[in-house]
Chain A
Amino acid sequence: NAGVTQTPKFQVLKTGQSMTLQCAQDMNHEYMSWYRQDPGMGLRLIHYSVGAGITDQGEVPNGYNVSRSTTEDFPLRLLSAAPSQTSVYFCASSRGRQGGGELFFGEGSRLTVL
């Protein structure tokens, strides 16, 4: 019962470094999304995808890139990390509107940028 798998669970970066947070789901969900969670801010949408080859920006997309080459995978790239990107990142997937819209979340990736 893998569901949504995120790697790594913890990461420390220096300012200016780049990295990719990986997200994979095995439920054949069309919709996938990335959120960041900061104290008192809830979950803010970074980018989302409604299917392979289709991505769009969410509420806070600056500093992040995504791609969706397969249904299963939705990696999030930080091109030049900044301390403001210190956060906990969650990947989620859903069957979308047809499936009632339930979001299934990974366990999160905690990123610290020094």
Chain B
Amino acid sequence: TQLLEQSPQFLSIQEGENLTVYCNSSSVFSSLQWYRQEPGEGPVLLVTVVTGGEVKKLKRLTFQFGDARKDSSLHITAAQPGDTGLYLCAPGVSNDYKLSFGAGTTVTVRA
């Protein structure tokens, strides 16, 4: 059983559209991280959220940490083909070191 549930599992959209992916849990986290992984490579950190209700922006990407610190979302505005990849949420290491990642959302942006 995954501690972190990500949805949807797959998302395919046209360039210019918006998308949101979700990371949910019944557990409370002191921090959550979002990574992006491209084919044949390891994941790369996008952001760490640490405060309930926090919103962080990274160019066209907006990350939100739920008020109760049990969930997070990633919103991409005007998606581009370069946004294609596997988006993974993970408990930050400020939590238990033993925790694993969510299963991820595979995002495909068609030109």
- The interface of chain A, by Cβ under 8 A from chain B, is 4, 31, 35, 40-45, 48, 50, 56-59, 90, 92, 94, 96-97, 100-103, 105-108
Contact = CB atoms under 8 A, between A and B. Distances in A.
A40 B92 CA distance: 21
A35 B33 CA distance: 16
B68 interface: no
A102 B9 CA distance: 24
Contacts of B48: 100-102
25 contacts: A4-B42, A31-B93, A35-B101, A40-B9, A41-B103, A42-B2, A42-B4, A42-B100, A42-B104, A43-B100, A44-B101, A48-B98, A56-B97, A59-B99, A90-B42, A97-B94, A100-B48, A100-B92, A101-B31, A101-B33, A101-B94, A103-B35, A107-B40, A108-B40, A108-B42
Interface in B11-42: 31, 33, 35, 40-42
Interface in B74-98: 88, 90, 92-94, 97-98
Contacts, number: 73
A56 B40 CA distance: 28
- Size range of the chain B interface in the assembly: 20 to 34
Contact of A97 (B42, B93, B98, B102): B93
B43 interface: yes
A92 B42 contact: yes
**Which of A42, A45, A48 neighbours the largest number of chain B CB atoms within 10 Å of its CB?**
A42
Contacts of A59: 98-100
